[in-house]
Amino acid sequence: MAAVMCVLAILVGSARLSGAGQASLAKAAVQTPASPSSIIGTTPDYVIGPTDVLSIAVSGETAMTAEVVVRPDGKISLYLLNDVVAAGFTPEQLRLRLTEQAGRFVKAPVVTVIVRQVNNNRAYITGQVGHPGPYTLSGPTTVLQLISLAGGFSDFADRKHVLITRLENGTQRAYSFNYDDVVKRRDLAQNILLKAGDTVVVP
């Protein structure tokens, strides 16, 4: 009889522990935040480009909340705001821009901009190089490095007047690159880090 009572006590204790464990797990599951795996870990200075996928949210305004793809012309389309230039801006710059524009229709709007998918991670090189075309920026890449990746200059390249074009804050900008000056360490600042969407033109 004592043995039977002992077995019953063990079973009851196990059941209580099991129930407590399940309750603890359930509580932990409720308190655990949603996984951010769907949010791309871009740096604060990441510049949005064509074909990137953005999640735009305006608090309390479901009609103005959408997931959009940046078009080849660099614009996105949003309810009431129509076409808005997104390419060439960082997510924070675009957020401020959308907040200002949404303010015409919504009182004190709270806007969130999340880069869901980065598709615009390529720079382009064209002109007198061995292999012109798009190149994926898998890490920090300078003008000199991209020229090397593209097979170097061709025989007729004008190495002193290389041009880099970049879309910044919705405006096209141009930077000069003189290969001879850089390799002779006269002006290393010309050897800038490239950003997604940059185009290097070698005449």
Range of the domain at 151: 122-202
| 54 shares a domain with 100 | yes
pLDDT confidence of residue 46: 83
pLDDT confidence of residue 197: 85
pLDDT confidence of residue 88: 87
193: CATH: 3.10.560.10
CA separation for the pair 92, 111 (Å, rounded)? 10
Domain termination residue (choose one: 79, 98, 117):
117
Which of 18-22, 40-44, 55-59, 150-154 has the lowest average pLDDT? 18-22
Which tops the pLDDT comparison, 65 or 9? Answer: 65
| 144 shares a domain with 89 | no
Host H or E run for residue 122: strand 122-127
| 187 shares a domain with 161 | yes
* Residue 64 within any structural domain of the chain: yes
* Residue 24 within any structural domain of the chain: no
pLDDT confidence of residue 5: 43
97: CATH: 3.30.1950.10
| 130 shares a domain with 60 | no
| 78 shares a domain with 52 | yes
Q: What is the pTM of this model?
A: 0.56
* Residue 139 within any structural domain of the chain: yes
* Residue 162 within any structural domain of the chain: yes
Domain termination residue (choose one: 83, 117, 151):
117
Contact 52, 115 (CB under 8 A): yes
pLDDT confidence of residue 137: 85
- For the chain, counts of helices (H) and of strands (E): 4, 10
pLDDT confidence of residue 42: 63
pLDDT confidence of residue 159: 96
Q: How many domains would you assign to the chain?
A: 2
pLDDT confidence of residue 85: 94
Q: pLDDT digits over 26-38, tens only?
A: 333 233 223 222 3
Domain termination residue (choose one: 117, 140, 163):
117
Compute the average pLDDT of residues 173-198.
Answer: 93
Q: Which residues contact 158 (CB under 8 A, 6 or more apart)?
A: 128, 202, 203
Whether the pLDDT of residue 24 is over 60: the answer is no
| 166 shares a domain with 113 | no
* Residue 12 within any structural domain of the chain: no
| 93 shares a domain with 53 | yes
